[in-house]
Amino acid sequence: MARMCGNSDTARLRGAFIAEVLANEPLCRDHWRMVLTLPQFPTTRAGQFVNLQCRPLDDLLGARQVDWPAGGTPRFTQPELTDRETMLRRPFSLAGRRDCDGKVELDVIYRTVGVGTHWMSELKPASSISILGPLGNGFRILPGKPSAVLVGGGVGIPPMLYLAEALTAGGKNIAAFLGARSAELFPLHLLTGGHVSPEGSPAECVAELAEWSVPTAVATDDGSLGFTGLVSEPFERWLDAGKLGADDVVVYSCGPEPMMQAVGDICIERGIECFLAMERHMACGMGTCQSCIVKIRDDSEQGWSFKLCCTDGPVFSAGDVIW
Amino acid sequence: MMADMSDEKTGPDLTVDIAGVPLANPLMTASGTCGYAQEYADFVDLKQLGAFVTKSITLRPRRGNDYPRVVETRAGMLNAIGLANVGLDIFLEEKIPQLRSLALPVFVNIAGTTIADYVAVAEALDEVDVVRGVELNISCPNVKEGGIQFGVDPRQIENITSAVRKACRNNKLIVKLSPNVSDIAVSARAAVEWGAEALSLINTFTAMAIDPETRRAVLSNGTGGLSGPAIRPIAVYMVRRVYTEVARDADVPIIAMGGIQFARDALEFLLAGATGLAVGTSLFVDPACLVKIRDGIGEYLARHGLSRVQDIIGAMED
Ligand SMILES: Cc1cc2nc3c(=O)[nH]c(=O)nc-3n(C[C@H](O)[C@H](O)[C@H](O)COP(=O)(O)OP(=O)(O)OC[C@H]3O[C@@H](n4cnc5c(N)ncnc54)[C@H](O)[C@@H]3O)c2cc1C
Ligand SMILES: Cc1cc2nc3c(=O)[nH]c(=O)nc-3n(C[C@H](O)[C@H](O)[C@H](O)COP(=O)(O)O)c2cc1C
Ligand code: FES
Interface pTM, i.e. ipTM: 0.93
Which range, of A132-141, A190-199, A203-212, B5-14, averages the lowest pLDDT?
A: B5-14
Query: How many angstroms separate the CA atoms of A67 and B304, rounded?
Result: 9
B312 contacts: CB under 8 Å, gap ≥ 6? B267, B270, B271, B301, B306
Q: How far is CA B57 from the centre of its chain?
A: 14
Question: How many angstroms separate the Cα of B225 from the Cα of each of B185, B191, B194?
Answer: 21, 22, 27
Across A55-70, average pLDDT = 59
The model carries a pTM of: 0.94
- Which ligand is in closest contact with the Cα of A314? 1
- pLDDT confidence of residue A85: 72
Q: Residue B301's closest CA among B18, B22, B19, B16? A: B16
Q: Does B140 qualify as catalytic in the annotation?
A: yes
HSE-up of B232 (CA within 13 Å, CB side)?
A: 24
- pLDDT confidence of residue B318: 85
- pLDDT confidence of residue A6: 47
- pLDDT confidence of residue A277: 98
For A187-233, the DSSP string reads -SPBPTT----TT---BS-BHHHHTTT--EEEEETTSSSSEES-THH
Query: How many angstroms separate the CA atoms of A148 and A167, rounded?
Result: 8
Q: Do A290 and B288 touch (CB under 8 A)?
A: no
Query: How many angstroms separate the CA atoms of B307 and B292, rounded?
Result: 19
Confidence category of residue A101, pLDDT binned at 50, 70, 90: confident
Q: Do A288 and B39 touch (CB under 8 A)?
A: yes
- pLDDT confidence of residue A31: 97
- pLDDT confidence of residue A153: 96
Q: Residue A76's closest CA among B290, B76, B265? A: B265
Q: Do B63 and A305 touch (CB under 8 A)?
A: yes
How many of the other CB atoms lie within 10 Å of CB of A198?
Answer: 14
Across A263-277, average pLDDT = 97
- For the cut 70, the answer to whether the pLDDT of residue A320 exceeds it is yes
User: Which chain B residue's Cα is nearest to A290?
Assistant: B81
Domain ranges in chain B?
26-286
Distance A87 CA to ligand 2 centre (A): 16
Size of interface A-B (CB pairs under 8 A): 122
**Residue A133, phi-psi category: left (phi > 0), alpha (psi -120 to 50), beta (remainder):** left
- pLDDT confidence of residue B193: 96
- Which ligand is in closest contact with the Cα of B69? 2
Query: How many angstroms separate the CA atoms of B77 and B99, rounded?
Result: 28
Across A143-155, average pLDDT = 95
- pLDDT confidence of residue B3: 42
> Which uninterrupted H or E stretch holds B88?
helix B88-90
Superfamily of domain B26-286: Aldolase class I (3.20.20.70)
Query: How many angstroms separate the CA atoms of A130 and B286, rounded?
Result: 10
Q: Do A87 and B34 touch (CB under 8 A)?
A: no
Q: Do A291 and B68 touch (CB under 8 A)?
A: yes
Confidence category of residue A29, pLDDT binned at 50, 70, 90: very high
- Which ligand is in closest contact with the Cα of A185? 1
Mean pLDDT, chain B cut into blocks of 10 residues (318 residues total): 47 96 98 95 95 96 96 94 95 95 96 93 96 92 68 90 96 96 96 97 96 95 96 98 98 98 95 98 96 95 95 95
State the smallest CA–CA distance between residue B42 and chain A in angstroms: 5
How many of the other CB atoms lie within 10 Å of CB of A120?
Answer: 21
Q: Residue B290's closest CA among B24, B8, B2? A: B24
User: Which chain A residue's Cα is nearest to B34?
Assistant: A288
Of A65, A284, A293, the CB nearest to B284: A284
Question: Which residues, listed in sequence order, are joined to residue B201 by a DSSP beta bridge?
Answer: B256
Query: How many angstroms separate the CA atoms of B244 and B17, rounded?
Result: 19
- pLDDT confidence of residue A71: 61
- For the cut 50, the answer to whether the pLDDT of residue A1 exceeds it is no
Distance B76 CA to ligand 3 centre (A): 16
Contacts of B81 in chain A (CB under 8 A): 289-291
State the smallest CA–CA distance between residue B192 and chain A in angstroms: 30
Distance B228 CA to ligand 2 centre (A): 9
Mean residue pLDDT of chain A comes to: 90
Which range, of A10-14, A20-24, A264-268, B190-194, averages the lowest pLDDT?
A: A10-14
Query: For A77-88, how does the pLDDT look when each residue is reduced to its tens digit (9 = 90+)?
Result: 555 555 567 899
